[in-house]
Structure 1
Amino acid sequence: MSQSMQTRSHGPITRFLSIAKNFTQEQTPSADEPVAGSGSTKNKRKREAGHEDGAQKRRRLDNTPKDDGNKDKPEPSGMPPVWAEKRAAIADALPYFRAHQSGLHSNKKVAKGFLIGAKVEIRDRFESEVIITSPGGGHVEDKSTRQMVREKDQEDNFRIQAFSAIMKKPRRSLVVIADSGNPLFPVKPPHEYNVLDHFQVTDIWSEKVHGHGGKLVKIYRIRLEKVNLKSRSWWTPKDANEESIGEVEVGHHVCALAYCLACRNPSKVIYKQGWTCLHKDCKQFFCFPRNKDSTDLNPAELEYNEDFLKERTPFLGDNLCPLVPPLPQITDKTFGSEKEFKAGIVCPRCGCCIRRMKWVGWFCENPLCEFSYRIPLKKFHTIDFTDGNGSKSNKDSFDKCVKRMPQVTTSNHIFTTYFLPDEKKGFLGTITVIRPREGVFTRSGGINDLYTRFQDQDLGLERRGARAAGSRIEELTSHFSANYGAPYKFGVVVKTTMGLPGAQPPIVETLLRLTWAGEASVAASTKFIKDENLKVDDDAIPDEFEKFNELLALGYFEGSKISAHDDGEKELGPTVATLSLGSASLMKFSAKKGVNVGAKGKFVLSLVLKHGDMLVMHGAGIQKFYLHEVSNLGKHRFAMTCRHIRPESIADKAQRERAKIDGQLSKEWASINYNGHSDRFESKTGDAVECPTTTTDSTTAQVQQSIPTDDQTKSGDIETRASSSTPEP
């Protein structure tokens, strides 16, 4: 017996735990993190300089084509209870794995869900009842190979604390998910991401491995054991016997335990080559007896002790979270647009994780399944925004470099214009906020009625790929969108663009309202420049308005947002106008990197857009030198944004011709204008007219939705997807 240890028999429940102190809480990025301009200022600079930050590295490595060595493995004996082909789908749908980038999801410093990925360490095991792996972290990128390698000892971190918290209380468990790229997968993986089962953490220890360049580094290891040992794991090979797949009963094997004489701490006899102290701070840590030739033992040659692999631990808990979470339900206190209703669900038929991609509900992402689940939103009224519009805690503010002009009040609207500066002590564009007065809201056919009518329509709103679109790590936009008129956002929205000739009446009415707002704002800006003798470069703030031929409809649930971006596509005119309906939002403007205006790192202009407000950006320089972002402050909001798409600048001939046709109003609408000064729709001669209430274009039928009844709003409706001959929402 070695002089550095004492041994004694060890029952299957006894465990060793090396607990690290003073850990930090895990921060897990979500699907709603900014698409552009996200993260720290340091990371922003890296991206703009063409360098990757940590999140981008993870996304690139996660999306690297895998060496599919699993394709020739045996078929599984069962199927996963929950699965997905997209990484974001499991993070959206599973409350026990809200981790869009990290491999670990924890809550209150306790591990809840763990993804074993494609990267494995020496001596990792993936068996029917036992998984041995690293808790993750501690790697750096090799600049020459761009591979993640170990160069130094793995530090104590939040992962160790999260796993340790499960060991402290034997009634806790976590759910393990397996990536199809894991080369140790015992069978042919059915899907990209596969939920395995509930596991308990039985052991955490430290060991030495060869890192980059052959250097020995210390890492952490964890042993996970399946909670339910009575049922066969679905990831075992089909027709395999108990012995070959490692099914063992509790008590048949017991791993011996020994105490270190140097540090007085216990360690299990984990390796065949003998016992060693597994406490990384002990002077006897990882010291094995020398080989017969008096050479040190090579860590790469170590093998696990059979008793360590086959020891089974009874699970003392009984309150396991469901692997398939229940479907969300409307209650008397919810509307159906709260955060939980934008999250994903798990298909109760096939187990596929379903992202909320459509405004009207969830549609199974499994092409072989026809399941769909709709929860009609309760109708919002303006009284619902009294407390939730954010106006009490968020007020308009602007940097001293921004010039705010005196308000202009008309009988129905209040204009507030801000001039954004250039780098030459002049101005390059204007932001005009047009706030309606009381009568504009309440009259028949006014803003409140318009908002109600939008809620009665199915606008075809969908969430679309914002990052790595179409790949296994695709992330969706936080908001829902649909485009009307000339195509906009080429490659993103163009596939669902609907022409203005067949657009629903509320869409066309809004375009006419925003056309008036654009014209009025351009005229106001031109007058201010002349009256105040403002310094403006030629053509920076044009005095002519280019008529809108496109409308992008955006829908926001609670917590939805649009990250920092610009509308600087070459096909766009210099004016962008938006109408806000429903909950208030906070819109912020910031200078792009390298633009020398305002206080460094701060927003130059922040505006609270309330129900009925219109905002007009005028001047192409705004998009060239500034970014803007929008955060929804309530539970339900529509934003209708108009632009002028210049067909002549579209390179593709088919797209160019389509833009000319789709951007034209139908005959019944072409002769109607909106006059904001009198707040009415008028003919070309100035006479008041009634707007058409229907459309003659058949394409509208593809986006019509009936008003839900009161009974339908109480709970979701489960239904099968329509046949291919029936238009889907």
Structure 2
Amino acid sequence: MGKRKAPPAVSQGPRKRVGKWFFQFPRGRLVVEAEKKKEDPPKLPPVCGEPPAWAETRTELSDAIPWFRMVQGGMHQLDKVLLGALIDSDSGPRAFMDDEIVLTTLWVIVPPSELEIANDQSGGGKQKEDGKWELTKGHGESAKGIPAARTSMATKTAVGIVIGDQNTILRRKLPHRFNILAYFRVSYIWFEKYNGTTFGRIRYDKVDLAEKSWWAAEGSGEPVPLDRRRNGRPESRQCSTCHQLSFRVYDQGWMCLQSTCRRFWKIGESDPPLDLTYNSAFLRFREDPDESLLPYSSLVPDLLSTFPNDISDYHFSPITLKGIVCPLCRKCVSRKWWNGWWCTDPSDSTASSCRFNKRLDMPPVSLRSVVPDLEIGAIKRAVGPNPKPPHQIPPDVQFSRAYLKLTYHIERVGSVTHFMANRDTLGRPNGPNDLFAQLQAANLGLRRNRLRTMAEGTLTKHFATNYGVPYKFTVDMPSNYNIRFSEAPLAVMHALGRLTWAARTVAGEDTLPNELLLVGYFETMSMGYHDDGESGLGPTVTTLSLGGRATMKVRMKREYYLGFHKSRDDLVKDDPVLVGCCKYEERIALKGEFDNRSITKEQYDQRRTEIFKTVIKPGQVKPLIEMRLQHGDFVVMHGANLQKYYEHSVETSDKLRYALTARYIKPKNEAERRAGEFQLTSDMEYNGE
């Protein structure tokens, strides 16, 4: 039976407004739509200046600013000392800010989109429908953030503050999404109650009181000179019960602000009113300047100035993956490109874009510097009897002149084959030794791409370029960075010839990839556990490793290992019960009963749940396969469900490593099909020697 044709488009009739509703009559059918009103954001007065640095995303901010390395969360601490804080979105009840001080709630200095992180950090809250917050769980002295803030105050360590343009306390228009304010000191920490819930409060005072704050209102006057200020301390009293001092914070009266005291949050014997106003003496109070009050680092560091001009030994070190602050526009810029930093994507031709860039001329890396053996490769790779841990799969071993072949068979799923290269094959023309040098000399277009599943702007730890059919699993790779095979460098095509041979050796002569992902790793870079589960992915994934060593691990995905998702009641549908999974014997016997129709689906799920309740602490899933990859090695993962049920990780240990991975991905259109077409010349074809 053919597919039914879609009905013709319905022409829309006139819309008539009745109250807040629209009535529309398309061809006799009544459609009622609620009018959606979008309130215009309030017009805020501008600030008088520009921040010393700014960022479009938190990732760029944390890449470039050492005192705020928080992609998620609102308080950054190091060695239990508070170094930086973010003010964004609703800052809680009675929050206050002016040109020199900030009073905020410890539990809510992060955007609403990061609510779970905020709850874990320092107490509990939830976002209401109006975008504001309400407390749902109190916290005491030991809550995260409070001890670090007290240590910062005791050690006289200045705290950097970032303010986002979604904050609700400054009430001025900020120039950028995230703006660095200045260095502040933690001058007071206390506790309050709101709707019966106890929470912590913190006061930050600007360190440099002589200089006018850039976030002051446009047209405002200069700050009062320090010698003309009256910095008398606000009223304080010692509690007769806990004997601790507390400032008088509110006009309505003095209260003990120690959360553990039984007289906490009382004016006399009564609860304070909900509408409290700050005491003017408390707001006016400023600490005297203190030369011993110092920050962890510069407010805006200059990473580029630390790189020597005449030495290039740092080019592949982890420090070069940090972000910089553009010296022209002051934007925080992440390291996205293999050969340096660009304030704006080079493909962006917008006239107003900042054109600053700092290019790194990546020096060539010799095999000698990344291969630790006395010679480059072994004449013959061999392995003897080596008992594996009980949770790991023993391999089948085959020898040849060019490779030692280890095949790990995963029952009912597929196989993972490790080709360990001997010296003879490494040194052949256009072989691994030549390819390692040729790739360094070629313009590969390597870049770090944005991860879809992480916070906005989060980049991969590695650099990559894709050739052939687009491959975008877990990352957003710009379309202009996907290169046809017809435009690929010769070194890539020679590698593709070798990858095609390895794939066909394992999976058969019909196997032909149409995509190649080239990944470049610096020293200590890694790729965490993941699968290659692109839509339309073929059953065979083949990788060639060049340069530095790496460790590759393969393990069962956690949900299939356990049989349930986060909750034991959230069962995995169509549980395959893989060999090596948790409670395998019990689960496979039960699955046999269900497959034989001895029990119903309801009984099967109920008994599965009973089995899973006996799993007290699942712990980490252990790898079933662990391979030490060396220069010139192949890994071939083969099996239609291998990427569905299993995941793998890679850890690199040397200065420079390339990984070239070939797959077949079903093209979505004719343009993708053409991008994946290639023709190997005779010198590109490989026969396994």
Normalised to the residue count of structure 1, the TM-score between the two structures is 0.72
Q: Residue 581 of structure 1 aligns to which amino acid in structure 2?
A: L
Change (3 A) 1:350 1:143: closer
Q: Does 1:432 align with 2:452?
A: no
For residue 493 of structure 1, the aligned residue among 459, 477, 485 is 477
Q: Which amino acid is 1:193 matched to?
A: F
- CA deviation after TM superposition for structure 1 residue 632, in Å: 2.3
Cα offset, 1:417, TM superposition: 1.0
CA contact (8 A) 2:493 2:684 kept: no
C-alpha contact (below 8 Å) 1:388/1:633 kept by paired residues: no
Instruction: Answer whether contact 1:467 1:476 (CA < 8 A) is retained.
Output: no
* CA distance 1:246–1:606, change in 2 (3 Å): farther
- Encode CA deviations 1:343-397: one digit per residue, 9 max, x unaligned: 11111111100011111111114962111112222322222224599x9xxx999
Q: Post-superposition shift, 1:333?
A: 8.0
The residue aligned with 1:604 is 624
| Distance of aligned partners of 1:388 and 1:480 in 2 relative to their CA distance in 1, 3 Å threshold | farther
Aligned equivalents of 2:540 and 2:453: distance in 1?
30
Q: 1:409 corresponds to which residue?
A: 399
Question: Is residue 412–residue 676 contact of structure 1 (8 Å, CA) maintained in 2?
Answer: no
Partner SS, residue 218 of structure 1: strand
CA, structure 1 residues 675+404, in 2 after alignment: closer, same or farther (shift >3 Å)?
farther
Pair 402,312 (structure 1): closer, same or farther in 2 beyond 3 Å: closer
Cα distance in structure 2, aligned partners of 1:397 and 1:548: 35
Aligned AA (1:493): M
1:431-475, Cα deviation, whole Å (9 max, x unpaired)? 111111112334454312211111112211111221368xx8232
CA deviations on 1:199-228 (whole Å, 9 max, x unpaired) are 001001111112xxxxx1111111100000
Aligned residues: 560
Shift of 1:508: 0.2
Deviation at residue 562 of structure 1 after TM alignment = 2.4
Give the C-alpha shift of residue 145 in structure 1: 9.7
Determine the structure 1 residue equivalent to 2:656: 636
Structure 1 spans left out of the alignment, 5+ residues: 1-65, 211-215, 423-427, 523-542, 651-655, 679-729
Corresponding residue number in structure 2 for 1:99: 70
Q: Return the letter of the residue paired with 2:272.
A: L
Q: Indicate the residue corresponding to 2:213 in structure 1.
A: 233
SS across alignment from 1:151: strand
Note if 1:521 corresponds to 2:506: yes
Q: How far did 1:94 drift?
A: 0.7
Q: Deviations over 1:555-588 (max 9, x none)?
A: 1223433232222334222111111112222222
Q: 1:314 aligns with which of 288, 291, 295?
A: 288
CA shift, 1:150, in A, is 1.9
Aligned pair partner of 2:93 in 103, 122, 131: 122
Aligned equivalents of 2:250 and 2:500: distance in 1? 76
* Shift of residue 660, structure 1, vs aligned partner: 2.7
Q: Is the 8 A contact 2:64 2:323 kept in 1?
A: yes
- Where 1:475 maps in the other structure, the secondary structure is coil
Identify which of 115, 139, 161 aligns with 1:154.
139
* CA distance, structure 2, for counterparts of residue 388 and residue 108 of structure 1: 39
Partners of 2:478 and 2:298 in 1: CA distance: 40
Residue in 2 aligned with 1:675?
686
Q: In the alignment, residue 578 of structure 1 is paired with which amino acid?
A: T
Rounded to whole Å, the distance in 1 between the matches of 2:85 and 2:578 is 45
Counterpart position of 1:213: none
Distance 2:685 2:39 in 1: 60
Match in the other structure for 1:90: 61
Does residue 222 of structure 1 match 2:202? yes
Question: Following TM superposition, by how much is the alpha carbon of 1:84 offset from its aligned partner in structure 2, in angstroms?
Answer: 0.6
Shift of 1:512: 0.3
Q: Which residue among 322, 336, 346 is the counterpart of 2:315?
A: 336
Question: CA deviation digits over 1:279-311, x for unaligned, max 9?
Answer: 111222121036xxxx6432x222111111011
**Partners of 1:68 and 1:363 in 2: CA distance:** 35
For residues 365 and 447 of structure 1, the distance between their equivalents in structure 2, rounded to whole angstroms, comes to: 35
Q: What amino acid is the match of 2:148?
A: A
Distance of 2:39 and 2:188 partners within structure 1: 31
Check whether the contact 1:128–1:246 (CA below 8 A) recurs between aligned residues.
no
Separation in 1, partners of 2:502, 2:543: 9
Question: What corresponds to 1:166 in structure 2?
Answer: 152
The SS at the match of 2:433 is: helix
1:369 to 349, 354, 358: 354
Deviation at 1:408, TM superposition (A): 1.9
Q: Distance in 1 between matches of 2:168 and 2:133?
A: 17
| Partner in structure 1 of residue 239 of structure 2 | 260
Higher relative contact order (CA 8 A, sep 6+): 1
SS in 1 for 2:502: helix
CA distance in 2 between counterparts of 1:121 and 1:109 reads 24
Deviation at 1:68, TM superposition (A): 7.6
Given the alignment, which residue of 44, 53, 57 partners 1:73?
A: 44
Deviations 1:132-185 (A, max 9, x none): 012222114479999864233213223111111121123x20100001100112
Q: Distance in 2 between matches of 1:247 and 1:365?
A: 42
Counterpart of 1:235 in structure 2: which amino acid?
W
SS at match of 2:327: coil
Contact 1:405 1:416 in 2 (8 A): yes
Q: Do 1:574 and 1:619's aligned partners in 2 also have CA atoms closer than 8 Å?
A: yes
Provide the rounded CA distance (Å) in 2 between the counterparts of 1:68 and 1:586.
54
CA contact (8 A) 1:359 1:460 kept: yes
CA 1:147/1:118 → structure 2, altered by over 3 Å: closer, same or farther?
A: closer
The reply to whether residue 456 of structure 1 matches residue 441 of structure 2 is yes
User: Does residue 134 of the first structure (1) align with residue 105 of the second (2)?
Assistant: yes
| Cα 1:310/1:248, change in 2 over 3 Å | farther
Whether the 8 Å contact between 2:126 and 2:136 is mirrored in structure 1 is: no
Whole-angstrom CA distance in 2 between matches of 1:263 and 1:418: 67
* Percent pairwise identity: 32
**C-alpha deviation, 1:676, in angstroms:** 4.2
CA apart distance, 1:319: 4.3
Is 1:275 the counterpart of 2:249 in the alignment? no
User: Does the 8 Å contact 1:335/1:378 carry over to 2?
Assistant: no
Amino acid at match of 1:596: L
Residue 494 of structure 1: how far off its partner (Å): 6.2
Cα deviation for residue 672 of structure 1 reads 4.5
Letter in 1 for 2:342: F
Root mean square deviation, CA, Å: 3.0
User: Is structure 2 residue 167 aligned with structure 1 residue 177?
Assistant: no
Matches within 5 A, 1:474-553: 474-489=457-472, 492-493=476-477, 495=479, 496-522=481-507, 543-553=508-518
3-state SS in 1 of match to 2:476:
helix
